């Protein structure tokens, strides 16, 4: 935007001379007369695009405004122009005499200089910037919602211009009228997201204040599947300390190793298929499966574990044993039903990375089966997919995750999307048990609500050290849950240290 304004400014200054103009909007009839007598010069003060709103029709984008001054340089305008642009620039403008545009710091309306408030797309203060996405040089959406709804947002695009009457040399004619051309510039049309601005603010602040340099936090309303907040770091306006960290990636849509945040899903499936939560296994810290030795964190021997203790201690060997108690092929099909290894859509044109599941033949190998039990091996999933899993654990129901609330017409009226019908996938008895188990697990991690930590090996090495994905995934409150919340650190130390505090801070601030 800024470059275009500077380009316009330069072009106009080179091309045109200057005389006087007076501030007076004219009707079509008068304009026709002006055109008959003179040449005209049109300067575009700003362009607009459809609005992106939150669920309460608060605009998310554009998020900022900039003042642009349109000036007809003349002696009488010099005092105002000097105050606005500085003495030297004002003198240059007067010398060239051409109508021109420049950024202004304050509002002005005189017969010779007038400022206009122009919306700025994706300003530094934009909420949900990673979800909203980016525009290319042609003002077309190149990422996120801007891309997914490009056609609709362009349909509501507009422009604000000023037409000056000029002589053959391009100089503003003294005493001639200027006209403001408003072509749909302030249309209210656009798209409404399910994001709640207040929750988004809380989520972004919690993430910014945390030790997570690269990661995300997402919130879902468990009754509807609607995403209420989706935040990533690094933020757009942060100079990343590490150049390998991309500020333009919406981490919530990426696919990652999930590790132990997957264990509760196996626990729920086992409960659903007749395994009791009292089922126990004595952990010695390691177990031999085929040629591979699996271990708990630090080879710690957890001793006799029930399902509750195994979740609290994140005991790998317990879940390896639990996987042997169930039909792993049926569990794999269940995961497929939940959306794993499919590109989950958040709306038309915006998808999560599909991630991956082991194939049924992989699970014939005892080592692969063991890895799958504690969320490692071939399993990759997005934070949004995990939200969907924790919605299920919280309620027994699943609805497709969505960010689309509806479309908004040019008058600002919301046409709401038809909500998805929830599908029951877990019995209520299983849900009640999972609520209690995950409340104990969250307490063990030192946080509120219900949930599970995760620290997953990624197979990616940096400085000869393996990058760990650390997580906290859960819901809040533990009883009668309202929100599922997932926190990811792309390169962390432990889920309890990195992510559980962010989960707690967000949950305590939720309405
Ligand atoms: Zn153990």
Distance of CA 297 to the CA centre of its chain: 33
User: 298 in a domain, yes or no?
Assistant: yes
* DSSP string for residues in 130-173: HHH--B-TTS-B-SHHHHHTHHHHHHT-EEEEEEEEE-TTSPBP
User: 190 in a domain, yes or no?
Assistant: no
User: What was the pLDDT predicted at 155?
Assistant: 97
Cis peptide before 505 (omega within 30 of 0): no
Distance 300 CA to ligand 1 centre (A): 6
Q: Are 332 and 371 contained in the same domain?
A: yes
Distance 467 CA to ligand 1 centre (A): 22
Of 30-34, 293-297, 352-356, 507-511, the range with the lowest mean pLDDT is: 30-34
Q: Are 351 and 386 contained in the same domain?
A: yes
User: What was the pLDDT predicted at 126?
Assistant: 80
For 177-230, the pLDDT digits (tens) are 789 999 999 999 999 999 999 999 999 999 999 999 999 999 999 999 999 999
- Does position 7 have pLDDT exceeding 90, yes or no? no
Distance 374 CA to ligand 1 centre (A): 11
- Does position 13 have pLDDT exceeding 50, yes or no? no
- Does position 265 have pLDDT exceeding 80, yes or no? yes
Helix (H) or strand (E) holding 438: helix 428-444
Distance 295 CA to ligand 1 centre (A): 7
Q: Are 205 and 353 contained in the same domain?
A: yes
Q: Are 409 and 329 contained in the same domain?
A: yes
Q: Are 178 and 226 contained in the same domain?
A: no
Q: Are 381 and 498 contained in the same domain?
A: yes
User: What was the pLDDT predicted at 28?
Assistant: 36
Q: Which residue has the higher pLDDT, 508 or 175?
A: 508
Q: Are 91 and 221 contained in the same domain?
A: no
How many structural domains comprise the chain? 2
Q: Are 254 and 175 contained in the same domain?
A: no
C-alpha 223/C-alpha 391 separation (Å) is 8
Six-digit token string for 371: 């890895």
Distance 265 CA to ligand 1 centre (A): 18
Q: Are 179 and 207 contained in the same domain?
A: no
What's the rounded mean pLDDT across residues 7-15? 43
User: What was the pLDDT predicted at 33?
Assistant: 43
User: What was the pLDDT predicted at 112?
Assistant: 87
Distance 446 CA to ligand 1 centre (A): 19
- Does position 125 have pLDDT exceeding 80, yes or no? no
- In what side-by-side order are the strands of the sheet with 414-416? 59-61, 51-53, 190-193, 404-408, 414-416
Distance 303 CA to ligand 1 centre (A): 7
Residues 6+ apart with CB under 8 A from 330: 273
Distance 296 CA to ligand 1 centre (A): 5
Q: Which domain holds residue 93?
A: 2-51+64-120+158-185
Q: pLDDT band for position 31 (50/70/90)?
A: very low
User: What was the pLDDT predicted at 138?
Assistant: 86
Distance 292 CA to ligand 1 centre (A): 16
Residues bordering ligand 1, an ion, CB closer than 5 Å = 283, 296, 302, 315, 317
Distance of CA 484 to the CA centre of its chain: 16
User: 192 in a domain, yes or no?
Assistant: no
For 373-408, the pLDDT digits (tens) are 999 999 999 999 999 999 999 999 999 999 999 999
User: 144 in a domain, yes or no?
Assistant: no
Tell me if residue 83 falls in helix, strand or coil: helix
Helix (H) or strand (E) holding 440: helix 428-444
- Does position 359 have pLDDT exceeding 90, yes or no? yes
Cα–Cα nearest to 340, from 261, 278, 406, 449: 261
- Does position 484 have pLDDT exceeding 60, yes or no? yes
Q: Are 109 and 201 contained in the same domain?
A: no
Q: Are 180 and 285 contained in the same domain?
A: no
User: 413 in a domain, yes or no?
Assistant: yes
| CATH code: domain of residue 420 | 3.40.710.10
User: 450 in a domain, yes or no?
Assistant: yes
Distance 338 CA to ligand 1 centre (A): 28
Token pair 């940096």 is found at 462
Q: Are 228 and 166 contained in the same domain?
A: no
Distance 172 CA to ligand 1 centre (A): 82
Tell me if residue 219 falls in helix, strand or coil: strand
Six-digit token string for 154: 């362009």
What's the rounded mean pLDDT across residues 24-39? 45
Distance 460 CA to ligand 1 centre (A): 25
User: 438 in a domain, yes or no?
Assistant: yes
Q: pLDDT band for position 36 (50/70/90)?
A: very low
- Average pLDDT over the chain, rounded to whole? 90
- Does position 492 have pLDDT exceeding 60, yes or no? yes
Distance 332 CA to ligand 1 centre (A): 24
Six-digit token string for 86: 């500085």
User: What was the pLDDT predicted at 6?
Assistant: 52
User: 487 in a domain, yes or no?
Assistant: yes
Q: The pTM is what?
A: 0.88
For 415-428, the pLDDT digits (tens) are 999 999 999 999 99
C-alpha 431/C-alpha 474 separation (Å) is 13
């Amino acid at each position: 935007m800024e470059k275009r304004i500077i380009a316009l400014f330069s072009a106009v200054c080179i091309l045109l001379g200057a005389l006087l103009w007076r501030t007076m909007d004219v009707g079509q009839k008068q304009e026709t007369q002006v055109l008959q007598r003179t040449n005209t010069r049109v300067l575009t003060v700003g362009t607009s695009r459809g609005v992106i709103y939150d669920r309460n029709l608060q605009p998310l984008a554009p998020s900022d405004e900039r003042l642009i001054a349109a000036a007809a340089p003349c002696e009488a305008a010099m005092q105002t122009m000097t105050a606005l642009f500085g003495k030297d620039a004002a003198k240059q403008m007067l010398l060239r005499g051409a109508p021109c545009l420049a950024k202004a710091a304050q509002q002005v309306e005189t017969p010779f200089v007038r400022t206009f408030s122009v919306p700025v797309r994706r300003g530094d203060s934009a909420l949900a910037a990673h979800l909203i996405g980016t525009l290319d040089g042609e003002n077309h959406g190149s990422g996120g919602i801007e891309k997914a709804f490009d056609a609709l947002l362009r349909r509501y695009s507009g422009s604000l211009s000023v037409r000056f009457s000029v002589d053959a040399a391009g100089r503003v004619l003294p005493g001639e009228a200027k006209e403001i051309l408003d072509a749909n510039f302030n249309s209210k049309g656009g798209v409404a997201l399910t994001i709640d601005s207040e929750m988004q603010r809380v989520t972004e602040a919690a993430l910014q204040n945390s030790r997570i340099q690269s990661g995300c936090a997402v919130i879902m309303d468990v009754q509807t599947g609607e995403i209420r907040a989706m935040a990533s770091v690094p933020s757009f306006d942060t100079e990343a300390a590490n150049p390998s960290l991309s500020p333009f990636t919406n981490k919530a849509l990426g696919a990652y190793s999930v590790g132990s945040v997957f264990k509760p899903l196996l626990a729920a499936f086992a409960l659903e298929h007749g395994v009791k939560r009292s089922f126990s296994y004595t952990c010695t810290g390691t177990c031999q499966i085929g040629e591979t030795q699996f271990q708990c964190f630090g080879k710690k021997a957890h001793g006799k574990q029930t399902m509750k203790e195994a979740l609290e201690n994140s005991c790998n060997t317990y879940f390896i044993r639990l996987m042997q108690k169930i039909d792993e092929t049926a569990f794999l099909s269940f995961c497929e039903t939940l959306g794993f290894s499919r590109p989950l859509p958040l709306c038309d044109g915006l998808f999560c990375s599909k991630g991956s599941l082991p194939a049924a033949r992989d699970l014939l190998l005892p080592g692969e089966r063991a890895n799958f039990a504690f969320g490692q091996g071939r399993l990759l999933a997005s934070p949004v997919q995990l939200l969907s899993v924790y919605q299920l654990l919280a309620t027994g129901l699943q609805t497709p995750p969505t960010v689309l609330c509806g479309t908004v017409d040019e008058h600002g009226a919301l046409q709401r999307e038809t909500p998805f019908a929830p599908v029951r996938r877990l019995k209520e008895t299983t849900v009640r048990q999972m609520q209690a188990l995950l409340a104990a697990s969250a307490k063990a991690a030192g946080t509120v609500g219900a949930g599970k930590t995760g620290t997953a090996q990624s197979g990616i090495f940096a400085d000869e050290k393996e990058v760990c994905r650390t997580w906290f995934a859960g819901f809040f409150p533990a009883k009668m849950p309202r929100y599922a919340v997932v926190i990811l650190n792309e390169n962390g130390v432990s889920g309890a240290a990195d992510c559980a505090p962010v989960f707690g801070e967000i949950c305590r601030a939720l309405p």
